[in-house]
Structure 1
């Protein structure tokens, strides 16, 4: 990694450099997960020998009923465990949703990239945006991208790297910015998204244990979420400009992998301008089609039972299809206008090229899916979550310290269990009733969960997209590894967690409304 000698390194920069060196000594991500699989197998056998069982209440994800459940460490080396590993080898990979999302997104993104649309859009963004504003724009868009579920990981993060390189800035800083925005603030948005519907429903199920007439709506956290988006936009941009980029220094294009286009962007040519105009026409046409499918009360993409559009509806649940079509249609339209992609055969060739380039990532996801399935089977994460929540539940502290302790526990568990819905199904029946009895509204408990659940996503290797971002980084620096990404993301994780928790505490202390 290239660094600047213009000024001596600070203590923090030297510390992060040390983390990078140590982290990059670890082997290839595939080897890391193979080692982790071996550790989980051995650990499950050792812990399973003690036969510890924990009984708890949880929300059934299908019926939303509060049910009694028990969790005990399950060994992967007994007869049942061996059968599970043998029989689930292929199903583990087939049920790993990150693979399907990645392939679907890349079908459209491949056409947009091959036609030149992505490059032209970046040039246009650079042309119309002041240099200082680019960081804030990408940070804001990255946070908002969570409305499209995991698509932000696949689209926004690599685009942020390209955008930074287009203006002569370090592309790794752009990747770090994009990853921090997409992952570190995943649970908040200025818009209602499908995740909100599930979290709110689980919250209401838990609140009914104390007051059957108490319920919250989809917008119950909208004010706190909207302010959090703006707050985190500034924090992420500030960290990028003041900490990440100065540490990286000037970018040396020689570090890039073979075939990577480097160098600052140029002004738009006449053909690029014409292509963007065609892409706009394609986008308008797509919007019109989806308006016909969603806006009328009889729209087929509305919830067939409730007529709902935002929340639990086919439109929101299948938003990745809209993302794919948006890039596919606009990329093809741009190619027609710019003369780069004309026929259907050209479009198919672009898609095939993008899929071929994902071979390494698909193999990595295959190994990762096995680890996630084995770890889930053993119940190690669930038992740890229940143990920590039990300690916090028995603590004799006031509501605000208890809420802050809850945020810390959620953050710790997020290093092992990254699924927001699965964790809330366990935590909601415990903490929502507990805090309601102390006079805390369920909206505040849900807001606390949002704060604790997000920041660690940017640093845990159990995030399905962590290794993918390492691959993005290696495009611009062949020597980049796990340590490189961890050292880049650590400042974001620490400051987002501390300052966001402080915002939550101030919000609660002032008694501000959490939402509608």
Structure 2
């Protein structure tokens, strides 16, 4: 039985709301800015000049922080470092290649594309999405993608590389605008990155820093890995609905009907219906390949002596080789299942064909890799100057000095973290600075350290979807340009603004209600 798929009715002829006109204006202004590479070159110049000026005036701040190596609280002074003095010039010259080589996003992207290229070229990705569309009610697709996107943070940054483009393909498959799918995926992956229904490696680090800070007030007070599990569980379900609702009610209507003529050359925009016999056989082969790969990884992880467990503690979930190298599993899953599908469907049979598919996917990354090269220099230079750290400490010091109650202080803390996240996107680096300041302060006001950590999770996530300093922001722009050649930075910013604003407001409200009701944060 054939499934007839209809595109959503275009709203181009209907009057636009004030919000839609505002977002259209944001997109036009944003797309008027230069190429992202030019933007970051300008930012690099600004950072260099500003660092020299601030250093000349002796800008500095003293603070207490947790040493990531010893986990001891230490007093330190951070001052603005100039990039135009002797040491700064040496750094500019000598760090060019190390900055790029140390930019982990590049390695993750290439590794993921090795497997994803095979899966896409063989037809597995398209077949899986069409299968999902066939078995899922049309109304549920948005919610499914939103939920899976939020859970994708268990695979660290791999969610950016896998889920976001898949969401675009899924939307295209049901006749919806693929940019709405990309926006949905980006909001889910980036905007809720610090919460999950599962314990992930990031939780271990955040909890450890929280305990180090709590011991300043009470040496016997500690929290566990599951200290935020109930709040995280509720946040995942809550944000799933929020992201899906915004997509269906704000983003999709604004975009209207998709015109395939906008797609970049070589981008597939065809929409299929029922799977062919060859495609169904390919999916069965892919399932067999997946089962075989999982069987191998069970042998590598489940026994107590398994090599992918932590060699000292024996743990599997947390700080272990398995979790630290999870991108390898993601790559192999796509590679093995993609090739198995190709054999079953007759689209990708031989090893030379597989290698050709990998080469094709890597070649498509040329522009993105060059952008990452420039972006890595900006991030390294900005970090070297300490300007972001000084700003974070100045804001936290002002908030700490304010004589307000516990809940207003928690809400103010969320706002400060969100502002700083526009400049310092690393969750661990910020928490190393904020934890020894706010955990002891709020504990003295009767606030549990679990609540402070939960507040940090709320403030640290939504802005990830709008800051250009997110290493994957430029990648999302590249994804968008596959479906709309004219898409640019302004396009993504205008798409993500509704998500960022409403996720921040509603999630903060959920946190405030949770705190006022005294609900347990976790186990």
Residue 130 (structure 2) aligns with: 123
Q: 1:357 aligns with which of 360, 364, 374?
A: 364
Q: Give the 3-state SS of the residue equivalent to 1:58 in structure 2.
A: strand
Residue 152 (structure 1) aligned with residue 175 (structure 2): no
Residue 88 (structure 1) aligns with: 95
C-alpha separation between the residues in 1 aligned to 2:107 and 2:72?
30
Residue 343 (structure 1) aligns with: 350
Deviations 1:126-183 (A, max 9, x none): 1001111110000000000000000010010001001000110000000000000000
C-alpha separation between the residues in 1 aligned to 2:383 and 2:360?
35
Residue 3 (structure 2) aligns with: none
Q: 2:66 aligns with which of 44, 52, 59?
A: 59
Q: Give the 3-state SS of the residue equivalent to 2:485 in structure 1.
A: coil
Residue 5 (structure 2) aligns with: none
Residue 177 (structure 1) aligns with: 184
Matches within 5 A, 1:6-405: 6-405=13-412
C-alpha separation between the residues in 1 aligned to 2:413 and 2:10?
40
Residue 451 (structure 1) aligns with: 458
Q: Give the 3-state SS of the residue equivalent to 2:380 in structure 1.
A: helix
C-alpha separation between the residues in 2 aligned to 1:156 and 1:94?
25
C-alpha separation between the residues in 1 aligned to 2:430 and 2:10?
40
C-alpha separation between the residues in 2 aligned to 1:233 and 1:63?
38
Cα distance, 1:306 vs structure 2 = 0.9
Q: Give the 3-state SS of the residue equivalent to 2:382 in structure 1.
A: helix
Ranges in structure 2 where 5+ consecutive residues have no aligned partner: 1-8
Q: Give the 3-state SS of the residue equivalent to 2:64 in structure 1.
A: strand
Deviations 1:234-282 (A, max 9, x none): 0000000000011111111111111111132221000100000010011
Contact 1:168 1:263 in 2 (8 A): no
C-alpha separation between the residues in 1 aligned to 2:24 and 2:354?
43
Deviations 1:197-236 (A, max 9, x none): 1101111111111111111111110110010000000000
Cα distance, 1:3 vs structure 2 = 6.7
Deviations 1:280-301 (A, max 9, x none): 0111111111111111111111
Q: Give the 3-state SS of the residue equivalent to 2:48 in structure 1.
A: helix
Cα distance, 1:362 vs structure 2 = 0.4
Cα distance, 1:55 vs structure 2 = 1.1
Ranges in structure 1 where 5+ consecutive residues have no aligned partner: none
Matches within 5 A, 1:407-418: 407-418=414-425
Residue 497 (structure 1) aligns with: 504
Q: Give the 3-state SS of the residue equivalent to 1:498 in structure 2.
A: helix
Contact 1:3 1:247 in 2 (8 A): no
Q: Give the 3-state SS of the residue equivalent to 1:296 in structure 2.
A: coil
Q: 1:424 aligns with which of 421, 428, 431?
A: 431
Q: Give the 3-state SS of the residue equivalent to 1:347 in structure 2.
A: helix
State how many pairs are aligned: 515
Q: Give the 3-state SS of the residue equivalent to 2:76 in structure 1.
A: strand
Cα distance, 1:58 vs structure 2 = 1.1
Residue 4 (structure 2) aligns with: none
C-alpha separation between the residues in 2 aligned to 1:505 and 1:265?
46
Q: Give the 3-state SS of the residue equivalent to 1:44 in structure 2.
A: helix
Q: Give the 3-state SS of the residue equivalent to 1:45 in structure 2.
A: helix
C-alpha separation between the residues in 2 aligned to 1:62 and 1:103?
30
Deviations 1:51-105 (A, max 9, x none): 1221111112222221222111111111111110000000000000000100111
